[in-house]
Amino acid sequence: MTVANGAGTSHPPRYAQITGWASCVPEKVLTNEALARAVDTTDDWIVSHTGIKERHVVAGERETTAVLAARAGRDALLKAGLRASQLDLIIVATATPEYVFPSTASLVQDALGAASAGAFDLSAGCSGFIYALTMGTAAVRSGTAEHVLLIGAETLSRITDWTDRNTCVLFGDGAGAVVVSASDARCGVLATELGSDGSGGDLLILPAGGSRQPASLETVSNGGHFIKMNGREVYRFATTVMPRAAQNVTRKAGWELEEVSLFVPHQANTRIIESAAKRLSLPMDKFFVNLDRYGNTSAASIPIALAEAVTAGRVHEGDKVVLVGFGAGLTWAAAAVEWGAPPPPTTKTWFGRLLARLGFVFAGLRSWMIRSERHAYNWVMGPVGKDNWRGRLRKRIDAWRHNLRH
């Protein structure tokens, strides 16, 4: 098989192989028993209705979405045997970004020292990671990128109403990451399925903080900055789209459902996963489930589960794996992945690993030096546009620096 390229030329197809994977969750664990002391619920009720026993939540201002994302991204790069400088693109899927802007992905790019990488955030709720995987795969297969870092990261505890027993028992914090790299072997992400139904946008929503309801004393006092969810309708939606998306992406990949070695679903609710398995006429042992320990981590749930499944030996070379999820939007997404052989390492010698780790250490120093230089330059040269000798000198230096960079 060849792919046409340009005027009559052809090249072998490029594939997007998952070469690195990792996860990161906060140290603090919040158990059902602890929640039962705060709201009117019990451990038995939570487990029987959701399957969740505990979840990890951030503690303090130093644990943020960007911090968790950077840690997961760093470990995924080490697993892939890559240096941050080899990355071409970073995509962070999140519903809880560090800021409205700049993007969390840009903060991760700076933290890792990925000086050559573009970076942007993507918002598709709990489906976000597979949306990011689709974008990253397209960049690799088109030749736009060689190595892409894809991260799902959330700090949902920051937007959870801890007095609402219907939602506070569900969510947790964490991050998961994969590296997707170009490969000549037919493996990696072979097909994806994306979908959206905006008519259900109000069923799972963070009402305030955007342009429709800007933050105000009223939105804060009314609880508009907390997750609002119609659980019954979301459950009905999920149990319909999850099996359908899994069937569609399997068909796109040219597989039969029975050939799939493992399904890695969005970890929202055990009953949703059991319903999907039943509709697909498949046993539950083909579905990887870890929500009992993490809860619903939204865009982070699938990459966290995938990293755990691979580490636990549930995924091997040649295995056919389906990732499938649903989320706010309403959205749904699925990906068919054929697990490939590990690529030739570039940093897996002891010296290579040392250089990679030193690169992460020096990334923080590099960022500090750039910010310090910018501050010092602005202090010495004064504001832009001043019609004096410093202003004219600054204009010349700025032009010279621009030409030097380009």
In a shared domain, residues 64 and 109: yes
Q: Is residue 71 part of a domain?
A: yes
In a shared domain, residues 332 and 355: no
In a shared domain, residues 224 and 367: no
Active-site residue (options: 24, 147, 168, 266): 266
pLDDT band at 5, cuts 50/70/90?
A: very low
In a shared domain, residues 311 and 375: no
Span 234-245, average pLDDT: 98
Active-site residue (options: 24, 126, 168, 187): 126
Locate 371 and state its tokens: 């910010």
Q: Is residue 268 part of a domain?
A: yes
Within 8 A by CB and 6+ apart from 285, the residues are none
222 carries an active-site annotation: no
pLDDT band at 4, cuts 50/70/90?
A: very low
Kindly report the CATH number assigned to the domain that includes residue 324: 3.40.47.10
Span 226-248, average pLDDT: 98
Among 338, 372, 393, give the residue marking a domain's end.
338
pLDDT tens-digit profile of 40-50? 999 999 999 99
**Cis-peptide, bond into residue 342, ω within 30° of zero:** no
Q: Is residue 32 part of a domain?
A: yes
Name the percent of the chain lying above pLDDT 70.
Answer: 94
Span 293-311, average pLDDT: 98
What is the structure's pLDDT at 350? Answer: 62
Distances in Å between the Cα of 309 and the Cα atoms of 1, 134, 226, 264, 271 are 32, 20, 32, 8, 20
In a shared domain, residues 116 and 33: yes
In a shared domain, residues 30 and 85: yes
What is the structure's pLDDT at 347? Answer: 55
Q: What is the DSSP string of 283-310?
A: -GGGB---HHHH-B-GGGHHHHHHHHHH
pLDDT tens-digit profile of 193-212? 999 999 999 999 999 999 99
296 carries an active-site annotation: yes
In a shared domain, residues 333 and 357: no
290 carries an active-site annotation: no
In a shared domain, residues 254 and 400: no
Q: Is the pLDDT of residue 406 over 70?
A: no
Among 296, 314, 338, give the residue marking a domain's end.
338
Q: Which of 53-62, 82-91, 282-291, 360-369 has the least mean pLDDT?
A: 360-369
Q: Is residue 248 part of a domain?
A: yes
pLDDT tens-digit profile of 73-103? 999 999 999 999 999 999 999 999 999 999 9
Span 387-393, average pLDDT: 77
Locate 386 and state its tokens: 């001043």
Q: Could you list the residue range(s) of the whole structural domain that residue 388 is in?
A: 350-405
Q: Is residue 7 part of a domain?
A: no
Span 230-252, average pLDDT: 98
What is the structure's pLDDT at 27? Answer: 97
Q: Is residue 8 part of a domain?
A: no
Higher pLDDT, 26 or 391: 26
Q: Is residue 5 part of a domain?
A: no
In a shared domain, residues 383 and 243: no
Among 310, 338, 366, give the residue marking a domain's end.
338
In a shared domain, residues 59 and 152: yes
Active-site residue (options: 32, 248, 269, 296): 296
Q: Is residue 209 part of a domain?
A: yes
In a shared domain, residues 333 and 362: no
Span 159-181, average pLDDT: 97
Across the beta sheet with 173-183, what order do the strands follow? Answer: 15-24, 173-183, 147-155, 89-93, 118-122
pLDDT band at 342, cuts 50/70/90?
A: confident
- Cα atoms found within 13 Å of the Cα of residue 331, Cβ hemisphere only: 24
In a shared domain, residues 248 and 392: no
Domains in the chain, number: 2
188-196 and 147-155 beta bridge pairing? unpaired
